[in-house]
């Protein structure tokens, strides 16, 4: 009798686990057998979603096991996944795969013969889920395909049915294929999931889980009517319903097992809203916001607040909408990194930048210009923090780098701990306090480093003191079809709502037209963009020196070449400099007196391919070096990445004349090509710059498209210019497109000659105007822009 009761309790625990977290079901099925021999510790941690403790316990148990016992390693891999330690997960999955290939595929125990499973598909299934969360959809799809191929044919009914593998893997394949644009493949995976044969004893648990997974897929596709149909569905079988009710009767709102149900409720509420059932959606969202444990799930908490704000806006209550949007942003900004797990959990492709946009739009509509401007800066800060979230070797720019690095490590640890679902609300609150304390400390001792790992923004009042005398700051904010411009002078801050219709396409068309130096087709395009972007704000400027902070597609625009109706260009009337965000002004180091020497020139490196040679670039490099008696010239094999790194902190001016490489999907891997050797691969990447320390007053990037980086939602272009600024350069001159070698050599010669007597901003403008005399078309001179300090 005791044995039967024990078995019933174990079965009830396993069923409830399926309702708590879908992938956990696969591993919790072990707990009725093998895990019981270890004691209640690991089982308890697993059942109660104490994943940090599970990680430690499974790791300790795994260290004791022989290669013929794969279960503790499987649990360890699962724990790594739940706490989002992806590097460890992938390493663990590799080890588990090695066991599988060695023939250790089965988890079973002599006292529980029905508890048997083949784990052949588990390593790839874990990888697939992790890659989907990381946004690596192609890798997710590949891993899912391998997992599906490894799932055995489950002709016999075991408790650990292979249906679970399919239910966890087919949605990953369907979602990843859809996000990659392969609708046909996505349909096939969805159809497989719908046809999946599920038998006893999984009479209600797995069908419910399958309905949840189908709803995820329809959510991703934006088919909210079908998502609602499946998210609200429940299949109850008499065989397990009693056990389910027995086990769930002791739950409270503070029980972490509600996390699964929270995801389902979000699906229902979102689907109701998108199908026009606003009142019903509002009711469910309010029910979700009343749950204490919602705060533990940041990747669901902020979408709930955002959608509730949308409802308030639809109802005409702008002030209430603003408060919901602010609360959503507080949740978003609490974490250092924003891992996109929404698609994995609830089929919600959340765009965090959309929250900032709605808030900025609402604030501008309420004439709260200062607040709107602050959230524009916070939006750009969030985008940069997200881009650098995976980088843990950032150089600590602080008076005490060692202490700053220590606090940085503490911040990462606190951030990781805050991501793990806590067993109680009190423990969750304690973790949040620890995270907030670490953020506050790093902001105090290393503010520049803090700007890369936390959302910090400089106020408009402080920025007024930082912009130059006789200078105005123009900051654009472009998101999801809306465009705003803010003009900040020493006297006031103004906001303008501009036309964003086909903006990215019009900028692309202008750039395309500029690539034909023999044509005047660019005239009309440049005039149209001037009327749209510059003419409405021109009256608020009042000065000729302008600091421009672009956004989105505007990073690609050569402002100097915009054309007025009278045929003059903006360069005839204004002198420009640029910044990735206005808050960077606070961290620009004072310019140094570098004299007429201290120049490092790297030109035409030997890249091992004659097609990559740049003869005019080498001529340019030699001509620039001749102007400075103490210059060090490195060309061909000497222009190596190792040579640059060895001398980078010695020279006040560094000039690159080489090719650039740009990867929009991995912006930190973009960089400058230099000669390679035994120590370095020859690509100086953006990611490496964030780990370096320079002491340069000026870095000139006379290369192909060196100013460009990834243009993503809210991104402030994590390109080479931003990387060099953080590394310690005061100013950067870079190009927006592949430039003409001959014209560039002349422009650079003029620029360095002007530097002898003029500040950098004026030196570049005068060089462009002079080059324009011999090369009138903007293709030859308008690509170069100054980022950073003007003096």
- Written as one string, the DSSP assignment of 203-252 is SSHHHHHHHHHHHHHHHHHT-HHHHHHHHT-----HHHHHHHHHHHTT--
Structure tokens at 417: 């701990």
State how far the Cα of 13 lies from the Cα of 16, in Å rounded to an integer: 5
CATH number (3.40.50, 3.30.420, 2.60.120, 2.30.30) of 460-586 reads: 3.30.420
CA dihedral 73, 76, 78, 82 (to 10 degrees): -170
State how far the Cα of 17 lies from the Cα of 32, in Å rounded to an integer: 12
- Evaluate if residue 668 carries a pLDDT over 90: no
Residue 276: pLDDT band with limits 50, 70, 90: very high
pLDDT tens sequence across 433-458: 888 888 788 778 777 777 766 777 88
Specify whether the CB–CB gap between 491 and 755 falls below 8 A.
no
Check residues 732 and 3 and name the one with the higher pLDDT. Answer: 732
- The three state secondary structure string of 420-469 is CCCCCHHHHHHHHHHHHHHHHHHHHHCHHHHHHHCCCCCCHHHHHHHCCC
Q: How much is the average pLDDT of 158-164? A: 57
CA dihedral 204, 209, 215, 216 (to 10 degrees): 180
CA-based angle 630:636:637, to the nearest 5?
A: 100
Q: How much is the average pLDDT of 257-263? A: 67
Residue 204: pLDDT band with limits 50, 70, 90: low
Model pLDDT, residue 334? 80
Q: How much is the average pLDDT of 525-537? A: 97
Per-chain mean pLDDT for the chain: 80
Model pLDDT, residue 29? 47
Structure tokens at 270: 């979102």
Specify whether the CB–CB gap between 210 and 193 falls below 8 A.
yes
β-pairing verdict for 653-657 and 599-605: parallel
CA nearest 415: which of 383, 448, 392, 387? 392
Fold (topology level) of 2-202 = 1.25.40
- Evaluate if residue 154 carries a pLDDT over 70: no
Range with the lowest mean pLDDT among 24-38, 561-575, 631-645, 742-756? 24-38
Check residues 237 and 90 and name the one with the higher pLDDT. Answer: 90
Q: How much is the average pLDDT of 184-202? A: 82
User: What SS3 class is residue 483?
Assistant: strand
Q: How much is the average pLDDT of 480-495? A: 92
Q: What are the extents of the domains in the chain?
A: 2-202, 259-387, 460-586, 591-788
State how far the Cα of 746 lies from the Cα of 773, in Å rounded to an integer: 11
Model pLDDT, residue 557? 93
Residue count (the chain)? 791
Same fold flag, 2-202 and 259-387: yes
Residue 30: pLDDT band with limits 50, 70, 90: very low
Residue 155: pLDDT band with limits 50, 70, 90: very low
To the question of domain 591-788 being in CATH 3.30.2130.30, the answer is: no
Q: Which CATH class is domain 259-387?
A: mainly alpha
- Neighbouring CB atoms inside 10 A of 238's CB total 8
Model pLDDT, residue 713? 43
Model pLDDT, residue 262? 82
Structure tokens at 542: 């009042």
pLDDT tens sequence across 210-252: 888 999 999 999 999 999 999 876 544 433 333 333 233 334 4
Model pLDDT, residue 649? 77
- Evaluate if residue 16 carries a pLDDT over 70: no
pTM of the predicted model as reported, rounded to 2 decimal places: 0.81
Angle, helix 615-626 to helix 741-755, in steps of 10 degrees: 10
- Evaluate if residue 770 carries a pLDDT over 90: yes
Range with the lowest mean pLDDT among 177-186, 302-311, 668-677, 778-787? 668-677
CA-based angle 706:575:715, to the nearest 5?
A: 40
- The three state secondary structure string of 134-185 is CCCHHHHHHHHHHHHHHCCCCCCCCCCCCHHHHHHHHHHHHHHHHHCCCHHH
């Amino acid at each position: 009798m005791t044995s039967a009761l024990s078995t019933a309790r174990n079965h009830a625990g396993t069923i409830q686990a399926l309702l708590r977290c879908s992938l956990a079901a696969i591993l919790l099925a072990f707990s009725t057998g093998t895990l019981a021999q270890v004691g209640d510790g690991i089982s308890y941690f697993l059942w109660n979603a104490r994943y940090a403790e599970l990680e430690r316990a499974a790791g300790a148990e795994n260290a004791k096991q022989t290669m013929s016992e794969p279960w503790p390693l499987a649990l360890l891999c699962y724990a790594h996944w739940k706490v989002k330690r992806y590097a460890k997960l992938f390493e663990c999955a590799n080890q588990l795969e090695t066991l599988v290939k060695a023939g250790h595929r089965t988890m079973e125990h002599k006292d529980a013969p029905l508890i048997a499973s083949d784990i052949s598909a588990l390593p790839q299934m874990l990888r697939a889920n992790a890659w989907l969360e990381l946004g690596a959809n192609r890798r997710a799809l590949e891993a899912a395909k391998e997992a599906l191929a490894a799932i055995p044919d489950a002709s016999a009914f075991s408790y650990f049915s292979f249906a679970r593998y399919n239910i966890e893997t087919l949605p990953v394949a369907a979602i990843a294929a859809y996000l990659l644009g392969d609708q046909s493949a996505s349909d096939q995976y969805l159809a497989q999931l719908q046809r999946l044969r599920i038998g006893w004893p999984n009479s209600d648990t797995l069908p419910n889980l399958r309905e949840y997974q189908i709803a995820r897929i329809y959510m991703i596709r934006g088919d909210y009517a079908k998502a609602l149909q499946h998210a609200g569905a429940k299949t109850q079988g008499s065989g397990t319903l009693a056990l389910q009710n027995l086990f769930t009767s002791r739950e409270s709102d503070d029980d972490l097992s509600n996390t699964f149900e929270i995801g389902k409720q979000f699906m229902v509420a979102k689907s109701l809203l998108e199908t026009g059932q606003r009142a019903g959606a509002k009711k469910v969202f309010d029910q979700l916001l009343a749950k204490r444990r919602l705060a533990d799930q940041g990747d669901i908490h902020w979408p709930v607040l955002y959608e509730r704000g949308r409802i308030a806006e639809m109802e005409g209550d702008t002030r209430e909408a603003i408060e919901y949007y602010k609360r959503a942003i507080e949740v978003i900004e609490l974490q250092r990194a924003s891992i996109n797990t929404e698609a994995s959990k609830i089929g919600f492709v959340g765009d965090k930048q959309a929250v900032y946009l709605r808030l900025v739009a609402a604030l501008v509509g309420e004439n709260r210009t200062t607040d709107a401007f602050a959230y524009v800066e916070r939006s750009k800060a969030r985008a940069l923090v997200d881009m650098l979230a995976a980088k843990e070797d950032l150089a600590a720019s602080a008076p005490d780098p060692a202490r700053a690095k220590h606090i940085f490590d503490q911040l990462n640890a606190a951030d990781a701990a805050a991501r793990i679902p806590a067993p109680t609300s009190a423990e969750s609150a304690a973790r949040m306090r620890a995270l907030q304390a670490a953020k506050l400390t790093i902001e105090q001792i290393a503010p520049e480093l803090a700007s890369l790992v936390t959302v910090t923004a400089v106020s408009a009042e402080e920025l007024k003191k930082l912009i130059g005398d006789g200078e105005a700051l123009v900051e654009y904010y472009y998101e999801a079809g809306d465009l705003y411009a803010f003009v900040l002078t020493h006297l006031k801050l103004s906001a303008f709502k501009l036309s964003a219709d086909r903006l990215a396409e019009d900028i692309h068309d202008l750039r395309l037209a500029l690539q034909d130096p023999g044509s005047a087709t660019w005239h009309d395009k440049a005039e149209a963009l001037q009327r749209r972007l510059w003419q409405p704000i021109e009256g608020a400027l009042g000065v000729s020196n302008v600091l421009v902070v672009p956004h989105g597609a505007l990073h690609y625009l050569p402002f100097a070449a915009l054309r007025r109706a009278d045929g003059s260009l903006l360069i005839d009337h204004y002198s420009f400099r640029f910044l990735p965000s206005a808050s960077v002004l606070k961290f620009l180091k004072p310019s140094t007196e570098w004299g007429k020497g201290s120049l490092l020139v790297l030109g035409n490196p030997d890249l091992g391919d004659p097609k990559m040679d740049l003869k005019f670039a080498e001529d340019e490099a030699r001509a620039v070096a001749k102007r400075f008696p103490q210059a060090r010239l490195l060309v061909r094999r000497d222009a190596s990445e190792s040579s640059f790194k060895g001398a980078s902190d010695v020279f006040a001016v560094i000039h690159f004349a080489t090719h650039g490489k740009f990867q929009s999907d991995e912006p930190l891997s973009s960089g400058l090509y230099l000669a390679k050797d035994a120590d370095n691969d020859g690509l100086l990447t953006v990611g490496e710059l964030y780990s370096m320390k320079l002491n340069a007053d000026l870095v000139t990037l006379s290369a192909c498209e060196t100013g460009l980086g990834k243009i993503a939602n809210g991104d402030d272009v994590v390109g080479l210019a931003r990387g060099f600024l953080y590394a310690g350069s005061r100013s950067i001159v870079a190009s927006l497109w592949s430039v003409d070698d001959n014209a560039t050599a002349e422009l650079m010669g003029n620029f360095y000659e002007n530097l002898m007597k003029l500040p950098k901003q004026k030196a570049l403008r005068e060089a462009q105007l002079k080059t324009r005399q011999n090369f009138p078309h903007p293709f030859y001179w308008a690509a170069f822009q100054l980022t950073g300090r003007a003096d």
